[in-house]
Amino acid sequence: MHFDPEKLRSYFAGGDGEVTLGDLDLERIPSHVTIIMDGNGRWAKARGLERSAGHVAGVDSLREAVTTSVRLGLDVLSAYAFSTENWRRPQREVDLLMHLFATTLVKELPLFRQENVRLRFFGDLTALPKDTYDVFRQGLEETRNNDGMTFALAVNYGSRAELVRAVRSLAEDVRAGQVLPQDIDEDAVSRRLYTRDLPDPDLLIRTSGELRLSNYLLWQLAYTELYVSEHLWPDFDRWEFLRAICSYQKRDRRFGGVVAK
Ligand code: IPE
Ligand code: IPE
Ligand code: MG
């Protein structure tokens, strides 16, 4: 994907004392980076604040991650905002998150317009409160013709639920005589996932030091490189993002073979 070298240089001017733009190989920028944004609650707790303050602070990190991704010329940035298991949280926190998604999206529409970002969602949106759902639809509509980076947000997403949905839809087509069991291959499964028109992620970043996937993109992450950041999500910034990509660039991706691609 295209990026503006001038904007990129000024965005990363100076470095943070540890990493600079010079550490990056601009010829080997990943196409799709996905982020499990974790640690908002711990960030708030460490400051004696309510968990909700962590979520509010996390919005700033996400905005910066979107801008960083555009500056770097990624094709796709995706992020895990709410899992199918997150409904188990206290109702107050769930309500706050749903409200925050809606208000944030409305506020950020000018940024998407300015940066030519196309918005996407993946997950079961039908279970969301109507206000949130309506705002998401509006966001999709208003960014439909943007042809720069895709920003895909996972909301009410769970990988197992996604796979069950795919299996069910295949079973229905088999029953209807439209698909033969022997014709079901990896592509046929991929095409029935929420992510059907997104490339598999090249790099997964999880913040807050947790070493687990939490039901995220189990199928799609088969050959994705992993980077676990010790930063809590509200502390995640462009420099930590840069470190993650530099780390990715040092990897030797073999895809099961013996030579690097
Ligand atoms: C991530 O932060 C945000 C969401 C899951 C919505 P958490 O809320 O999980 O924060 P911790 O993990 O409790 O610190
Ligand atoms: C994963 O974080 C889900 C999102 C970031 C939306 P959680 O905080 O919900 O995951 P666990 O409970 O630590 O596995
Ligand atoms: Mg968490």
**Residue 71 belongs to domain with CATH number:** 3.40.1180.10
Whether 33 is covered by a domain: the verdict is yes
Please tell me the distance from the alpha carbon of residue 38 to that of residue 154, in angstroms, as a whole number: 13
Residue 2 pLDDT greater than 90, yes or no: no
Per-residue buried b or exposed e for 114-131, using 16+ beta carbons within 10 Å of the residue's own CB: ebebbbbbbbbbeebeee
Whether 224 is covered by a domain: the verdict is yes
Asked whether the CA dihedral 43, 47, 52, 56 is positive or negative, the reply is negative
Percent of the chain with pLDDT over 90: 97
Mean pLDDT, residues 71-77: 98
Mean pLDDT, residues 33-61: 98
Split into its structural domains, the chain has a count of: 1
Reduced to 3 states (helix: H, G, I; strand: E, B; else coil), residue 174 is helix
Whether 181 is covered by a domain: the verdict is no
Mean pLDDT, residues 55-81: 98
Spacing, Cα 49 to ligand 2 middle (Å): 19
Mean pLDDT, residues 18-24: 97
Count CB atoms within 10 A of the CB of residue 188.
13
Q: Which residue has the higher pLDDT, 207 or 260?
A: 207
Mean pLDDT, residues 70-79: 98
Q: What is the dihedral of CA 97, 98, 104, 105, to 10 degrees?
A: 140
Tell me how many helices (H) and strands (E) the chain has. 8, 6
Mean pLDDT, residues 107-119: 98
Range of the domain at 54: 28-159+201-249
Whether 183 is covered by a domain: the verdict is no
**Looking at residue 179, what is its pLDDT?**
97
Whether 171 is covered by a domain: the verdict is no
Please tell me the distance from the alpha carbon of residue 170 to that of residue 183, in angstroms, as a whole number: 11
Whether 114 is covered by a domain: the verdict is yes
Sheet holding 225-228, edge to edge: 118-122, 150-157, 76-83, 32-36, 203-206, 225-228
Q: Which residues pair with 27 in a beta bridge?
A: none
**Looking at residue 261, what is its pLDDT?**
53
Q: What is the best residue among 61, 83, 155, 160 to mutate for testing ligand 2's pocket, by most ligand atoms within 8 Å of CB? A: 83
pLDDT confidence of 242, banded at 50, 70, 90? very high
Please tell me the distance from the alpha carbon of residue 128 to that of residue 179, in angstroms, as a whole number: 32
Q: What would the pLDDT profile of 82-94 be if each residue is shown by its tens digit?
A: 999 999 999 999 9
Please tell me the distance from the alpha carbon of residue 246 to that of residue 257, in angstroms, as a whole number: 23
Where does ligand 2 bind, in terms of residues with CB under 6 Å?
A: 36-38, 80-83, 86, 210, 212, 214
Return the structure tokens found at 188.
Answer: 């046929």
Whether 89 is covered by a domain: the verdict is yes
Tally of residues, the chain? 261
Cβ contact 159:85 at 8 Å: no
Ligand 2 atom at minimal distance to the Cα of residue 212: 14
- Residues flanking ion ligand 3, Cβ below 5 Å: 38
Please tell me the distance from the alpha carbon of residue 185 to that of residue 85, in angstroms, as a whole number: 29
Whether 242 is covered by a domain: the verdict is yes
Residue 161 pLDDT greater than 70, yes or no: yes
